[in-house]
């Protein structure tokens, strides 16, 4: 999977100017609408309208069929929406400024970011919504989204989404990190890169990464092996703040994963392994932490 040399995983502080709008920025935030349904209730035939916000980098041209872009699906935390990252259609935010500068300075290749939501109209249980989001993602979002935008999936059949997995990442903050661990466990055939921010895996219960770290790590490793993938097929760049309320749950899980070296290989560079935890200094459970992890993690995405 690793077709390039990856930079060192060590933490770097964001330059202050990276969070300020550049006068010459040509990126755009647009709205993407789609329809979904409640797949947990076979008697619910209702169709629900939802939306995502999409960051399109400077120079993106929907009429240039030869241009293909890496894509990151990005999901928010509790009590938030996709606007937490991207503001809204036509808006700019610290996240868009950061992406603009990283692309312009050659730290990352131009990419598309699809900011999605686990919120829905038919269930108010946040944990259930997060753990079930994968059905909406795979069935309702990805086929339509990757048909409309120029990702590496030239055909949105299941086979082509699998073939293009090394050009696709999934990331989420807080409750969105819960989603990210779930996508890693069940959708690795379509994603090769994962960036859980400020959150642990809840497959065995809320905050089980802290209360049941060994069991949680074993569960993840078991399901990855069952899906037919090995340590060379994926990378996990996890992170949180040093004063983050999520750190006592995330770090024990990462430490337990380190012990399962047939599946997770902790490393200082993804040239040598597939797992790393970034602890951001002077950061709590907030957007500052997410920005720092995006800045440090994105250059390690995509093969």
Between CA 171 and CA 77 the distance in angstroms is 11
> pLDDT per residue over 26-81, tens digit each?
999 999 999 999 988 888 889 999 999 999 999 999 888 788 999 999 999 998 99
Q: Is residue 8 part of a domain?
A: no
The tally of domains found in the chain comes to 1
Q: Is residue 267 part of a domain?
A: yes
Tell me the three state secondary structure of residue 195: strand
- pLDDT of 41 reads 84
Directed axis angle between helix 126-136 and helix 175-186, to 10°?
A: 40
pTM: 0.96
Q: Is residue 231 part of a domain?
A: yes
Q: Calculate the average pLDDT of the chain.
A: 95
Residue 1 confidence class, pLDDT cut points 50, 70, 90:
low
Q: Is residue 11 part of a domain?
A: no
- pLDDT of 294 reads 98
Of 16-25, 106-115, 124-133, 175-184, least confident by mean pLDDT is: 16-25
Enter the DSSP assignment of 194. E
Q: What is the mean pLDDT of residues 234-241?
A: 98
Predicted confidence (pLDDT) at residue 169 exceeds the cutoff of 80: yes
Give the structural domain span for 281: 16-300
Q: Is residue 89 part of a domain?
A: yes
> pLDDT per residue over 174-187, tens digit each?
999 999 999 999 99
Predicted confidence (pLDDT) at residue 224 exceeds the cutoff of 80: yes
Task: Give the residue among 47, 55, 92, 97 at the shortest CA–CA distance from 72.
Answer: 55
Q: Are 118 and 131 in contact (CB under 8 A)?
A: no
User: What CATH code is carried by the domain that includes residue 186?
Assistant: 3.40.50.1820
Q: Is residue 4 part of a domain?
A: no
- pLDDT of 123 reads 93
Strand positions, DSSP E, 9-62: 28-36, 48-56
Q: Is residue 6 part of a domain?
A: no
- pLDDT of 2 reads 59
Q: Are 273 and 267 in contact (CB under 8 A)?
A: yes
Query: Which residues pair with residue 279 across a beta bridge?
Result: 240
Residue 238, number of CB atoms within 10 A of its CB: 26
Q: Is residue 219 part of a domain?
A: yes
């Amino acid at each position: 999977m690793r077709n390039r040399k990856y930079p060192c995983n060590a933490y770097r502080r964001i330059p202050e100017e990276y969070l300020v709008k550049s006068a010459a920025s040509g990126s755009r935030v647009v709205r993407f609408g789609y329809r979904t349904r409640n797949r947990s209730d076979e008697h619910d035939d209702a169709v629900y309208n939802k939306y995502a916000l999409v960051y399109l980098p400077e120079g993106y041209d929907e009429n240039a069929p030869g241009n293909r872009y890496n894509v990151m699906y990005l999901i928010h935390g509790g009590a938030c929406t996709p606007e937490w990252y991207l503001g809204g259609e036509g808006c700019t935010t610290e996240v868009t400024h950061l992406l603009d500068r990283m692309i312009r300075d050659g730290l990352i290749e131009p990419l598309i970011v699809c900011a999605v939501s686990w919120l829905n109209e038919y269930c108010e249980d946040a944990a259930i919504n997060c753990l079930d989001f994968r059905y909406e993602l795979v069935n309702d979002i990805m086929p339509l989204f990757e048909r409309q935008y120029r990702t590496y999936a030239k055909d949105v059949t299941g086979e082509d989404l699998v073939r293009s997995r090394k050009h696709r990442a999934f990331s989420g903050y807080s409750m969105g990190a819960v989603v990210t661990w779930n996508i890693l466990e069940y959708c690795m055939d379509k994603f090769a890169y994962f960036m859980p921010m400020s959150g642990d895996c809840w497959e065995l219960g809320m905050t089980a990464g802290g209360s049941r770290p060994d069991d949680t790590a074993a569960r993840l490793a078991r399901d990855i092996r069952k899906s037919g993938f090995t340590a060379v097929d994926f990378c996990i760049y996890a992170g949180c703040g040093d004063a983050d309320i999520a750190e006592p749950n995330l770090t024990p899980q990462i430490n337990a994963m380190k012990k399962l070296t047939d599946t997770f290989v902790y490393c200082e560079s993804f040239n040598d392994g597939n797992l790393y935890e970034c602890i951001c200094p002077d950061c709590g459970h907030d957007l500052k932490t997410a920005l720092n992890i995006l800045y440090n993690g994105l250059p390690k995405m995509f093969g």
